[in-house]
Structure 1
Amino acid sequence: MREIYLDNAATTKPLECVIEAVSETMRLEYGNPSSLHKKGIEAENKIKESTAFFANLLGASEDEIFYTSGGTESNNLAIIGSALAYQKTAKRIITTAIEHPSVGDVFTYLKGQGFDVIILNVDEKGYINLEELEASINEETSLVSIMHVNNEIGTIQDIEKIGALIKKKNPRTLFHVDAVQSFTKIPVSVRKAQIDLLSISAHKFYGPKGVGLLYKNKKVRLQNMLHGGGQQKNMRSGTENVPGIYGMYIAAKYVFNRQREILEHYKACKTYLYTRILNEIEGTHLNGDVVEVSAPHILNIAFEDIRAEVLLHSLEQNHIYVSSGSACASNKMSKSGTLAAIGLNGQALDSAIRFSFSIDVTEEDLETCVDVLKKQLVLLRKFTLGGKKR
Structure 2
Amino acid sequence: MNNHRIYMDNCVTTPLAPEVLEAMKPYFLEKFWFPGTFISTGEETNAALAEFKEIIAKALHSLPEEIHFTSGGTLANNIALKGLMGANANKGRHIIVSLVDYPDLLTNAAYFEKQGFEVSYLEPDSEGWVSADKLKEAIRPDTILFMSTIVNHVVGTIQPMEDYKKVIEAADHKIFWHADAGQAFGKMHLDVQDLGVDTLSVSAHKIHGPQGIGALFVKKGTKLSQLIHGVTRVDQLQTGGLSIALIAGFAKAVEMTFNDLDANISYLRELSDYLLGKLESTIPDIELNGPRGDKRVCHNINVSISYIEGESITMMLDLNGITVATGSACASQGLKPNYVLMAMGKNHVQSHGSMKFTLSRYNTKEEIDYTVEKLAEITATLRERSPLYQAIHNKER
Q: TM-score, normalised by structure 2?
A: 0.93
Query: Size of the alignment, in residue pairs?
Result: 388
Gaps of 5+ in 1: none
1:137-152 matched pairs, under 5 angstroms: 137-152=139-154
Maintained 8 Å contact 2:99/2:124: yes
Give 3-state SS (helix, strand or coil) of 2:195's partner: coil
Aligned to 1:12: 14
> Is it true that 1:281 corresponds to 2:297 in the alignment?
no
1:281-320 matched pairs, under 5 angstroms: 281-320=283-322
For the structure 1 residues 179 and 382, does the alpha-carbon distance in structure 2 shift closer, same or farther, using more than 3 Å as the test? Answer: same
Letter in 2 for 1:244: L
For the structure 1 residues 358 and 43, does the alpha-carbon distance in structure 2 shift closer, same or farther, using more than 3 Å as the test? Answer: same
Letter in 2 for 1:192: D
Deviation, structure 1 residue 59:
2.0
> Is it true that 1:43 corresponds to 2:41 in the alignment?
no
- Out of 87, 90, 113, the position equivalent to 2:89 is 87
Letter in 2 for 1:211: I
Aligned to 1:211: 213
Gaps of 5+ in 2: none
Query: What is the distance in 2 between the residues matched to 1:72 and 1:170?
Result: 31
For the structure 1 residues 205 and 292, does the alpha-carbon distance in structure 2 shift closer, same or farther, using more than 3 Å as the test? Answer: same
Aligned to 1:124: 126
Deviation, structure 1 residue 255:
1.0
- Out of 158, 164, 167, the position equivalent to 1:165 is 167
Aligned to 1:155: 157
Give 3-state SS (helix, strand or coil) of 1:344's partner: coil
Deviation, structure 1 residue 35:
5.2
More off after superposition, 197-206 vs 284-293: 284-293
Deviations 1:44-64 (A, max 9, x none): 222110111222222221211
Deviation, structure 1 residue 280:
1.8
Percent identity over paired residues: 28
Aligned to 2:225: 223
1:214-363 matched pairs, under 5 angstroms: 214-231=216-233, 234-325=236-327, 330=332, 333-363=335-365
Deviation, structure 1 residue 320:
0.7
Deviations 1:289-344 (A, max 9, x none): 01443101010010001111111101101101001159xx8466542111011101
Maintained 8 Å contact 2:314/2:326: yes
Query: What is the distance in 2 between the residues matched to 1:175 and 1:332?
Result: 29
Q: TM-score, normalised by structure 1?
A: 0.95
Give 3-state SS (helix, strand or coil) of 2:325's partner: coil
> Is it true that 1:133 corresponds to 2:135 in the alignment?
yes
Letter in 2 for 1:167: E
Query: What is the distance in 1 between the residues matched to 2:107 and 2:182?
Result: 16
Deviation, structure 1 residue 258:
2.8
Deviations 1:321-377 (A, max 9, x none): 001159xx8466542111011101121121111001111111110000111011111
Maintained 8 Å contact 1:161/1:193: no
Give 3-state SS (helix, strand or coil) of 1:335's partner: coil
Which runs of 4 or more aligned residues in structure 1 lie more than 4 Å from their structure 2 counterparts after TM superposition? Answer: 385-390
Letter in 2 for 1:62: P
